[in-house]
Amino acid sequence: MGSSENPGFNTVGLIGRRDSAHVADSLRAVIKCLAGHGVRILVEDQTAALLEGEGYGVCSRQALGERCGLIVVVGGDGSLLSVGRDLAHAGVPVVGINRGGLGFLADIAPKRINEQLGAVLAGEYRVEDHFLLEAKVLRDSRELTASAALNDVVVSPGSMARMMEFSLAVNGEFVYDQRSDGLIVASPTGSTAYALSAGGPIMHPSLDAIVIVPMYPHTLTSRPLVVRGDSTIMVTLGAVERAQVSCDSQVTFDLESGDQIAIQKYAAPLRLVYAYGHSFYESCRSKLDWATRLGGQQ
């Protein structure tokens, strides 16, 4: 198939991590690759500030979700978390290009843009649906705020190093009262992020399940709990001096004593695109430094 032909995507959007000066090189490489495949290119308005040149249109992030058949995100897993929360509802497929270390979500390395993004544009790809969580904060039964989270929802005292008291219920059924440094509620996608460092299990991204991980609980018998993906998880705060809920460590909201945080699956998944050959287990081996043989020999 010639490089000027593109069987799947007529308009492709481009979003780059805005706080990295090195992203511009990869953005230009992506634009060159896209232009070579004859697609129309739309660049997020804030990303366009990193670029100089012609051959592409400029629009808002939300407009990209409405007008594009594919969105390319340059910047790594953190950038994809933001895009997931903002654009999952649009249902547009997203492909990630990392800047530096291998990511679980942003799979394409900068030096392989032409090869792997070119393969995607030529139709050689598969799509994985990664479900998000949605956290709603309730105060006196009134909803104060809500946010989606691709990785996790974390209830904690914030920057203060102190324990907090709360109760946990799943689908209206009481689970436990707890004193701990907080609670992590993670999707399978987020199981390899903060939840993993707190002792949670690694979950394959295709699982329809949610993991609940206590942070340094004041008991030796409190362990991570895996529940069905369609569960509703309710965290009710006890008396607290200070607390907050955080979604993907990027969106935070201050909490008060008695507040409730209702967590359940978000209405739409993030549709991640991978070139053929992508392996979750290869990502684990590389990112988590798993040896392929005993003794670390390859």
Residues 6+ apart with CB under 8 A from 36: 3, 4, 118
- Give catalytic residue positions: 77
Place of tokens 């309730």: 138
The string of DSSP letters for 39-95 reads -EEEEEHHHHTT---SS-EEE-HHHHHHH-SEEEEES-HHHHHHHHHHHGGGT--EE
Place of tokens 């359940």: 264
3-state secondary structure (DSSP) of residue 267:
coil
133, 178, 166, 176: which is closest to 152 by C-alpha? Answer: 133
Strands of 142-149's sheet in order across: 142-149, 133-139, 260-265, 233-237, 164-170, 173-180
CB 171 within 8 A of CB 213: no
Amino acid at 109: A
Q: Give CA separation, 231 vs 143, 170, 246, in Å.
A: 19, 7, 20
Beta carbons within 10 angstroms of residue 211's beta carbon: 23
Give phi and psi for 40, each to the nearest 5.
Answer: -80, 135
CA dihedral 250, 256, 259, 263 (to 10 degrees): 10
- The 10 Å CB-count burial string (b at 16+, else e) for 126-143 is eebebbbbbbbbbeeeee
Calpha distance 246→5 (Å, rounded): 44
